[in-house]
């Protein structure tokens, strides 16, 4: 592995695979991409102006920052406040704030970051240890309960935050703390034959964090430590339960299982290691896990985790709607994992799932006003599930914030062949090819509401523009280059390379038809048999009670025939496309009243259907008006 | 309330409502009923010869009995063994063994009982306290965590066991221990204004136990203490959570909610109090809870508890199949509750549900060999769910044992009007009417496999025989009395009174047709839409993989038309009726392979169906051969 020059100026690269030997794609600093669209950029502005500052206040109000001051001895507080892993919330917040600072001056935010940095730095112990729960009377318990106590999970989130702070601000203040902490961890943990503690953490995170620290510092020992933590898992050193993915070595784990966030973080860390080492056994395990997840254990939203008990994956085809757990953090973990898989070879299926998950599984976790959060994201509800301003276990809120803050970094990659456009939104990008040539790409589009994307490309010499044809666009996609139809077959779920010497003013026009799609589910998913979900472009839709005040959505039946229409409604939910059409209401007939079971009557079971207008809104926007029933899967005839 | 004569000889009455002012029906000692049938009596013999002795050995092997010896100081053991509420397993076992002893001499069992009685008696503290967990270093923690630590739950199970031991054996040795324990509890708990601890237990049980102690001793103070525990619940004294039914006063609780076993035990205790006090507000709450349960929150088996998390009731219509929790103990709680409701007025719906629950929700909890148990009873499975020989939390095994041991006590009641036949099975009964006349009833029947029941009745003078017409018998029930058709309308779900002066040799012949029934479920239960369950008489059926080795049961579709046939198979599963017929297999068509979601195609979604023979076995008998798939709800056309 090439050693990085210590004095190189860092760039705000979210996952820095630019020197990873087994990455085909190269990352782009988030500062190289400027979004000017009407979908993401307003959300990112809300993230910057509302979400991140309000999270900071929550962290102060709940004692999360004071825990660091207590540990540092700079504030006299009797007891640690909150849950033992609350440090991680500060770290995720710091990561979000750092990526935000990378984009430009914000003195108020910079002051908050400075306060957090100061508190963290002061709380680090002389031996490098950093966890404000295990202080004073609890110091003796350090690293005694790896299974439950999240010490390395918290440490990992700090390492990620420190790397982000370094890359975003150029300051190595947090990075120095991170090195000392990681060195301490490396002194404690390792093979028994080295007289070290041969165990790993009950909650994965340290693996990807150490790989990133290795990338940021150029020091391979951190990557090797990550490898140790991956390899020791599955040997039962923390109890051997599937919940912790400790029942089976990773290379033999051919399903996604146990706690869903843990599983996603584990696969993400393993993918990071694969990018560095190219180990095929790792890759095989990752591929099989991905196949199992996408063909057996993923909700239609891209959400992950079927069970409340254990916040866990269920068995194959166990995908309830109202009781879906689908934690926001698990969806974020899926984005992180898919991003790394994408970097390995440029396989569009990972970008497809990343995009779908962003719109339909991550974004529902955040209210439109940026101040309330879902922990679980059900696909059906009676109106009782509502976003909260904060949680005792507040893992999801800063997780969403750091993803939104770093989002521009996920739009493009480069490679020896050229530039790759993964995501679509109006904006500009200045991308540097591996050979140093600068390419600019300007997207003109109303995506995700419209499938026409004009890519204005400028750059010297010959190179390829890899244009993603989304898997959702099952037919009719076309490409025009400078007004001429582009001849290549446009396979859904692939990248099409437009290779040429680019002229000034070159335009690639991608046309992705967005008919309303009806999606059906594998019949082994018990609740979805005889139902369809609605989608248009990359957006999953749903029905809400507020748009259908006269009926119970459970009685609504979508007839097979007529087309549904799509219309942009600038006034609604910050501007959304809604779907409209005619459905039927078939309420349970009278004889059901007061009965749960009866002799089967078949067709006589429902009253004659009567027509009713249907309005579907994007699923990510549900529960932003008033409490009421939600349905994603609709009964169909 | 009439005070019982202290020197009256006790009778082996399971729930002694014989003097309860608001009971219309009067209980019958279990010793008055002798079953000679081929369904229940072999199971009860297995209970006596296999289950109860093996449970005793488990209790010895796991330290459950040693915990008492440790507390008594008769055995030097360093630490309490097992879970903090393990005492309750001994008590439920003692209750089971006591009811069994009531039926006749069994020196080996009597010796085990003597050992347990000795251990329990010795473990009681001088102040009356009895809980072997809260001894020595934990003595200081007595009654400090009512919400979690089950002290009054354990105490309640002891009181029930002591009453059973007293009624079954005539010995007042355990009853004396029970009085001292209950007196101690009464000294500690009560209204604040009496300077007592105004709290109740996190797990209900003490309520029904104290009412029974009151009935056994004739001492009203125990009933009043039960009333206190009922009244204080719902005031938030133990945290106010729905899980503990502590969020709302019982009289305002109009749904079944929270931990299902707790809920059932609570309603049972409240029904016991209503039988004593006649309070209408209690009755109204009980009626509404019962309505909510039976029309919204009960699995088709009668099983209760939709959620693994919290072992709890779900929302209305939340009734998953593979993830059904349906704990065996909750079904037993339902039997206890329905029995008490039945005693109030002789409303057949309670007997209907009791019978259905016994066959289809309690009995599945026990293997045919009497040595393995289900804690959860799913209605669909992939073969991974299998009965266990014992559990760390072993609440269900001795609960099944005590119910089977006391079962004859649930077959009949008496009242001023005559005798009531609730359950059907071959056997004889000698019943004493309130006025002292003795009535004998001999049932000749192959029930539950056949619906012909001959009731040979003998007794002096005029009295009524109340014959239950089960709700499952929706048409065609007939009654013949001494060869003559009986004219009264036979409404399903009612008792028909046959009132007359009975001649020697009088026979009432009840004919209950048992066609195979297809049951459908309310369409708001998401998983069951488009499905049917099969039943015949009081028995719910299911399909098992072992009987359909060539197909995946999830692909099986039951056509609407043809009748299914029923046949008794003496060789199978200790002798069962099986259902046979023709179904179809409609496996997912090829295009699904490797996909979980796709563009809707409707009818093209499955391959052309091909015929396949179907064999259904009683649901209670599933998982007694080899692991494989289970389906109760079948796809139907």
* Residue pLDDT, tens place only, B264-275: 999 999 999 999
Q: A182 and A210 in contact (C-beta within 8 Å)? A: yes
Place of tokens 């706690």: A259
Residues B443, B553, single domain; the answer is: no
Q: How far apart are CA B344 and CA A218, in angstroms?
A: 80
Whether residues B309 and B174 fall in one domain: yes
Which of chain B's residues have a Cβ under 8 Å away from the Cβ of A309?
307-309
- d(Cα A20, Cα A444) in Å, to the nearest integer? 32
Tell me if A152 is assigned to some domain. Answer: yes
Query: For the segment A405-454, what is each residue's pLDDT rounded down to a tens digit?
Result: 999 999 999 999 999 999 999 999 999 999 999 999 999 999 999 999 99
Name which of B517, B600, B606, B629 to mutate to probe chain A: the one with the most chain A Cβ atoms within 10 A of its Cβ: B600
- Asked whether the beta carbons of residue B636 and residue A602 sit closer than 8 angstroms, the reply is yes
Answer with the one of A410, A436, A467 that is the final residue of a domain: A410
Whether B496 and B544 share a structural domain: no
Mark whether A398 and A270 lie in a shared domain: yes
CA B56 to CA B96: how far, in whole Å?
11
* SS3 (DSSP) at A339: helix
Nearest chain B Cα distance for residue A238, angstroms: 21
Q: Kindly list the distances between the CA atom of residue A198 and the CA atoms of A182, A589, B457, in Å, as whole numbers in the listed order.
A: 16, 64, 76
Domain boundary among A355, A382, A410: A410
Kindly name the residue from A151, A205, A212, A311 that is annotated as catalytic. Answer: A311
Q: Which residues contact B211 (CB under 8 A, 6 or more apart)?
A: B222, B223, B226, B269, B272, B273, B275, B276
Question: Does B263 lie in the same domain as B221?
Answer: yes
Is B216 a member of any domain?
Answer: yes
Using DSSP, state whether A392 is helix, strand or coil. Answer: coil
Could you tell me the CA-to-CA distances from B83 to A415, B64, B376 in Å, in that order?
A: 60, 9, 19
The secondary structure of residue B197, as a DSSP letter, is B
Q: Indicate the residue of B307, B526, B597 with minimum beta-carbon distance to A300.
A: B597
pLDDT at B1: 36
Extract the tokens encoding B501: 């002066």
- Do the chains contact at A597 and B322, CB–CB below 8 Å? no
Note whether A600 contacts B636, CB cutoff 8 Å. Answer: yes
Coil/strand/helix, residue B211: helix
Q: What is the CATH number of the domain that holds B139?
A: 1.50.10.10
Q: Across the interface, do A600 and B520 touch by the CB < 8 Å criterion?
A: yes
Residue B323 tokens read as: 């993830």
Burial B562-580 (b: 16+ CB within 10 A, else e): eebebeeeeebeeebbbbe
Q: Evaluate whether residue B586 is within a structural domain.
A: yes
Structure tokens at A309: 């008990």
| Residue A189 and residue A322 in one domain | yes
Q: Which of A300, A320, A602 sits opposite B320 (nearest CB)?
A: A320
**Could you tell me the CATH number of the domain that includes residue A418?**
2.60.420
* pTM to 2 decimal places: 0.94
Strand A462-469 with A418-421, pairing: parallel
Domain housing A213: 30-410
> Of B59, B154, B329, B395, which residue is the catalytic one?
B395
- Which residues of chain B register pLDDT less than 70? 1-8, 590-591, 602-607
A508-561 confidence digits (pLDDT tens) = 999 999 999 999 999 999 999 999 999 999 999 999 999 999 999 999 999 987
Mutate to test the interface with B, among A309, A596, A601 (most CBs of B within 10 A): A596
CB contact under 8 A, B598 and A520: yes
Residue burial A524-535, b: 16+ Cβ < 10 Å; e: rest: bbbbbbbbbbbb
Using DSSP, state whether A349 is helix, strand or coil: helix
Inter-chain CB proximity B315 and A309 less than 8 Å:
no
For residues A361 and A620, give the distance between their C-alpha atoms in angstroms, rounded to a whole number. Answer: 7
| Paired tokens of B322 | 């593979």
3-state DSSP assignment of residue B597: strand
**Nearest CB to A526: which of B309, B527, B605?**
B527
CB contacts, 8 Å: A256 with chain B = none
Position of tokens 């001994």?
A: B90
Residue that is written with structure tokens 């760039």 in the block: A11
Among candidates A320, A588, A636 on the partner chain, residue whose Cβ is nearest the Cβ of B523: A588
- Nearest-Cα distance to chain B for A534, in Å, is 10
pLDDT value of residue B73: 95
Asked whether A14 and A409 are in contact (CB, 8 A), the reply is yes
Would you say residue B18 lies in a domain? Answer: no
Task: Give the Cα separation of B501 and B481 in Å (integer).
Answer: 12
Beta carbons of B318 and A322 less than 8 Å apart: yes
CA distance B466 to A557: 47
A395 is an active site residue = yes
Rounded to whole angstroms, the Cα distance separating B197 from B193 reads 10
- Residue A17 in domain: no
CB pairs under 8 A between A and B: 127
Q: Select from B176, B180, B201 the least CA-distant residue to B189.
A: B201
Same domain, B465 and B426: yes
Taking the C-alpha atoms of residue A513 and residue A492, their distance in angstroms, rounded to an integer, is 12
CB contact under 8 A, B315 and A298: no
Measured in angstroms, the CA of B320 and the nearest CA of chain A are apart by 9
* Residue contact B521–A596, C-beta within 8 A: yes
The chain A residue lying nearest B296, using CA atoms, is A596
Measured CA to CA in angstroms, residue A148 lies from A153, A186, A228, B412 at distances of 10, 20, 19, 54
B605 and B541 within one domain: yes
Q: Of B536, B555, B632, nearest to B299 (Cα)?
A: B632
Q: Are A398 and A92 in contact (CB under 8 A)?
A: yes
Catalytic residue among B212, B311, B355, B544: B311
pLDDT at B5: 46
Contact A307 B320 (CB under 8 A): no
Which 3 state secondary structure label does DSSP give A560?
Answer: coil
Contact list, B636 vs chain A (CB under 8 Å):
600, 602
Joined together, the tokens standing for residue A384 give: 């009782």
Please identify which residue in the block is written with the tokens 């169906």.
Answer: B609
Give a yes or no: residue B195 inside a domain: yes
Q: Phi-psi bin for A198: left (phi > 0), alpha (psi -120 to 50), beta?
A: beta
- Three-class DSSP category at A496: strand
Q: Are residues A428 and A559 in the same domain?
A: no
| ω into A448 cis (within 30 of 0) | yes
Taking a C-beta distance cutoff of 8 angstroms, is the pair B213, B276 a contact?
Answer: no
Of A470, A485, A511, the domain-final residue: A511
3-state SS, one letter per residue, for B60-72? HHCCHHHHHHHHH
In the predicted model, residues of chain A with pLDDT beneath 70 are 1-8, 590-591, 602-608
Q: How far is CA B107 from CA A38, B47, B111, B608, in A?
A: 85, 16, 6, 64
Task: Give the contacts of B314 (CB within 8 A, at least 6 positions apart).
Answer: A323, B297, B306, B307
Contact A409, A13 (CB under 8 A): yes
Output helix, strand, coil percentages for chain B, rounded to the nearest 5. 40, 20, 40
In this structure, what token pair is assigned to residue B532? 């049917």
What domain count does chain B have? 3
From the list B321, B519, B597, the residue facing A521 with the nearest CB is: B597
φ, ψ for residue B172, nearest 5 deg: -100, 15
Chain B: residue whose CA lies nearest to A301 = B597
Nearest CA in chain A to B586: A523
Chain A residue whose CA is closest to B533: A600
Q: Which of A294, A529, A598 faces B530 most closely, judged by CB atoms?
A: A529
What is the side-by-side order of every strand in the sheet holding A506-511? A33-35, A427-432, A438-445, A452-458, A506-511, A478-481, A484-485
According to DSSP, the β-strands at B634-636 and B556-558 are parallel
| Shared-domain flag, residues B311 and B363 | yes
Q: Give Cα separations from A289 to A300, A338, A343, A544, B614 (angstroms).
A: 17, 12, 17, 34, 36
CA distance A387 to A380: 15
Going by C-alpha positions, the residue among A285, A315, A319, A289 that lies closest to residue A302 is A319
Determine contact, residues B348/B469, Cβ cutoff 8 Å. yes
CA atoms within 13 A on the CB side of A196: 16
Residue of A nearest to B322 (CA): A318
**In chain A, what is the straight-line distance between the N-terminal and C-terminal CA atoms, in Å?**
59
Model pLDDT, residue B606: 59
Is position A3 within any domain?
no
Radius of gyration for chain B, computed over Cα atoms and rounded to the nearest angstrom: 25
What whole-number distance in Å separates Cα of residue A255 and Cα of residue A239?
19
In a domain, A1, yes or no: no
Position A4 scores a pLDDT of 45
Q: Which of B295, B554, B605 sits opposite A594 (nearest CB)?
A: B295
Q: Does one domain contain both A147 and A44?
A: yes
Among A411, A399, A369, residue whose Cα is nearest residue A95: A399
Helical pair A206-217 and A220-232, crossing angle rounded to 10 deg: 170
In this prediction, residue A9 carries a pLDDT of 76
How far is residue B21's CA from residue B8's CA, in Å, rounded to a whole number?
19
Cβ distance A598 to B323 less than 8 Å, yes or no, reads no
Task: Verify that B403 and B434 share a domain, yes or no.
Answer: no
The Cα of B419 is separated from the nearest Cα of chain A by a number of Å equal to 30
């Amino acid at each position: 592995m090439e050693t990085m020059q210590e004095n190189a100026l860092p760039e705000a690269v979210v996952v820095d695979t630019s020197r990873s030997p087994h990455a085909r794609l190269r990352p782009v600093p988030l500062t190289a991409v400027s979004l000017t669209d009407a979908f993401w950029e307003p959300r990112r502005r809300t993230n910057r102006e509302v979400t991140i500052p309000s999270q900071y206040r929550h962290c102060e109000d709940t004692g999360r920052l004071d825990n660091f001051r207590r540990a540092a001895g700079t504030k006299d507080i009797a007891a640690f406040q909150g849950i033992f892993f609350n440090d991680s919330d500060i770290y995720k917040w710091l990561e979000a704030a750092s990526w935000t600072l990378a984009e430009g001056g914000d003195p108020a935010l910079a002051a908050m970051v400075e306060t957090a940095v100061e508190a963290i730095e002061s709380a680090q112990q002389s031996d490098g240890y950093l966890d404000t729960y295990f202080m004073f009377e609890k110091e003796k318990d350090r690293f005694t309960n790896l299974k439950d106590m999240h010490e390395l999970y918290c440490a990992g989130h700090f390492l990620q935050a420190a790397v982000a702070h370094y890359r975003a601000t150029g300051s190595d203040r947090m990075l120095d703390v991170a090195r000392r902490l990681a060195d301490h961890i490396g002194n404690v943990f390792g093979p028994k034959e080295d007289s070290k503690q041969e165990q790993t953490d009950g909650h994965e995170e340290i693996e990807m964090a150490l790989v990133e620290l290795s990338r940021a510092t150029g020091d391979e020992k951190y990557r090797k430590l990550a490898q140790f933590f991956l390899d020791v898992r599955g040997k039962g050193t923390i109890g051997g339960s599937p919940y912790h993915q400790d029942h089976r070595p990773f290379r033999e784990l051919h399903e996604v299982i146990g706690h869903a966030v843990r599983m996603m973080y584990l696969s993400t860390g393993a993918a990071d290691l694969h990018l560095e080492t190219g180990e095929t056994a790792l890759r095989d395990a990752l591929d099989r896990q991905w196949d199992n997840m996408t063909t057996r254990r993923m909700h239609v939203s891209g959400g992950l985790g079927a069970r409340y008990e254990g916040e866990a994956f269920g068995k194959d085809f166990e995908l309830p709607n109202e009781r879906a757990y689908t934690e926001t953090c698990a969806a974020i973990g899926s984005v992180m994992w898919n991003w790394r898989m994408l970097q390995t070879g440029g396989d569009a299926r990972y970008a497809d799932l990343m995009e779908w998950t962003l719109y339909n599984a991550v974004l529902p976790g955040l209210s439109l006003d940026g101040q309330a959060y879902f922990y679980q994201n059900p696909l059906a509800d009676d109106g009782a599930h509502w976003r909260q301003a904060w949680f005792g276990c507040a893992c999801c809120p800063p997780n969403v914030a750091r993803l939104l803050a770093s989002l521009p970094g996920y739009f493009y990659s480069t490679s020896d062949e050229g530039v790759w456009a993964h995501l679509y939104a109006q904006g500009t990008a200045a991308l540097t090819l591996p050979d140093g040539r600068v390419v600019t790409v300007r997207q003109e589009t109303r995506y995700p509401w419209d499938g026409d994307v004009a890519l204005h490309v400028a750059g010297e010499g010959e190179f390829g523009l890899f244009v993603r044809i989304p898997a959702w666009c099952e037919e009719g996609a076309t490409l025009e280059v400078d007004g001429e139809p582009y001849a290549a077959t446009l396979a859904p779920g692939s990248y099409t390379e437009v290779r040429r010497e680019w002229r000034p003013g070159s335009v690639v026009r991608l046309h992705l038809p967005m008919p309303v799609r009806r999606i059906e589910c594998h019949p082994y998913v018990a609740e979805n048999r005889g139902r369809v979900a609605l989608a248009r472009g990359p957006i999953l839709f749903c029905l809400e009670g507020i748009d259908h005040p006269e009926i119970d959505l459970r009685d609504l039946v979508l007839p097979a025939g007529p087309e549904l229409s799509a219309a942009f409604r600038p006034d609604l939910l910050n501007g959304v496309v809604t779907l409209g059409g005619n459905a039927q209401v078939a309420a349970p007939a009278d004889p059901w009243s007061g009965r749960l079971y009866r002799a089967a009557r078949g067709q006589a079971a429902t009253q004659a259907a009567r027509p009713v207008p249907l309005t579907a809104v994007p699923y990510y926007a549900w529960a932003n008006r008033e409490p009421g029933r939600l349905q994603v899967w609709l009964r169909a005839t």
